[in-house]
Amino acid sequence: MIRRHIWTGENYGLFRKCSFRRIFNFAFLGASILLLYNFMKPNTSKAIFNAFRECAYPKLLPLRGQYKEFWFSFTNITKQCDGLQEYKALDIRPTPNRDEIKYVVFPNKNELLTMVTLGIGHDIKAELKLKELYPNIDFHGSDPSNAINKDLYENKLGGKYYQYAVSGENGMKNSRVYREKYKEEITEHVGAEYFLKNFIRKSRIDILWIDIEGNEFSFLDQVHNGGTIDKEGIKICQMNVEMHKDLLEKADGEMEKFHDFIFKMLEDGKYISMKPYFVEVLKYRFIRLFLVNVGDNECTDLFIKQ
């Protein structure tokens, strides 16, 4: 005798209810496993910052508040941290300029990158080398002197040139302009946040090179967590920057500004400092740094090997 199961409305509703529960339970289980995996897997970017801080902070802390000693000791102290094991997650390559070496963290996938040069100074040797190594780059360069710089950046490099001095705020201000030699002039300044937002128009700047002859501190104040650039949602993934002292006639407190910038960076958990180099040219003293963003996902997903 063959029994037939009669599907009543009540039975069908019960079947649908059970099926929905099974689907929900499987989905919940899958989401839980994924969440647990993401929670438990190593956070490479955080490990990089922690390694940097644990190496640099104890060495720098005794000099807190001693601005002159901090300025002259910083490079020798922090270069001891450049060989950290955690840094192997960064594919760092040198690109030599006429009188210095720039450093670049290469991406872990082929993607169009945005690069900005602030302060061209008649020299694009490093940009050309970078383009040779990684052609997929959109170049933007700004310098208050268009003589030679415009032709180099647009015709030889194939980038976009802007005739501005970029610093902390808009207005007519002092700049050191290179025309065969450096000379202090009053030039039109564009604020960093305004320049990146309205001229570059990208929320992620992959590579930024800064050599703006004494105006860098007002710019760099804006990249910290809560700074103007940060509030605009603009992420800067890596920077080569020159920190100057006594270049501008009315310069004031650069050693203190440098000191405060470094300690703020150590507290933020956003950037690490690498490749420090102390430069002595005539009566001038300045510091070259390579800063890498290990705090913003837009940057770490592209530039850090997990």
Q: Domain check: are 97 and 208 in the same one?
A: yes
Banded model confidence at residue 37, pLDDT cuts 50, 70, 90? very low
Range of the domain at 190: 44-303
Q: Domain check: are 32 and 172 in the same one?
A: no
Q: Domain check: are 96 and 34 in the same one?
A: no
Identify whether 122 is part of a domain: yes
Q: Domain check: are 76 and 206 in the same one?
A: yes
d(CA 246, CA 39): 48
Identify whether 1 is part of a domain: no
d(CA 185, CA 40): 56
What tokens were used for 250? 């009315």
pTM above 0.85, yes or no: no
Predicted local distance difference test score (pLDDT) of residue 144: 86
Burial code (b: 16+ CB inside 10 Å, e: under 16) for 204-222 equals: bbbbbbbbbbbbbbbbbbb
Identify whether 241 is part of a domain: yes
Q: Domain check: are 102 and 147 in the same one?
A: yes
What tokens were used for 17? 């209810």
Identify whether 134 is part of a domain: yes
Identify whether 2 is part of a domain: no
Residue among 167, 206, 171 nearest 188 (CA) = 171
Q: Domain check: are 27 and 144 in the same one?
A: no
Among positive and negative, which fits the CA dihedral 139, 176, 242, 283? Answer: positive
Render pLDDT for 269-294 as a digit per residue (tens, 0 to 9). Answer: 999 999 999 998 777 788 999 999 99
Render pLDDT for 237-258 as a digit per residue (tens, 0 to 9). Answer: 999 999 888 655 555 688 999 9
Q: Domain check: are 293 and 199 in the same one?
A: yes
Cα Rg of the chain, angstroms? 25
The enclosing domain of 250 has a CATH number of 3.40.50
Give yes or no for residue 210 having a pLDDT over 60: yes
Q: Domain check: are 200 and 280 in the same one?
A: yes
Helix, strand, coil % (nearest 5) of the chain?
A: 40, 30, 30
d(CA 90, CA 105): 6
What tokens were used for 264? 């703020």
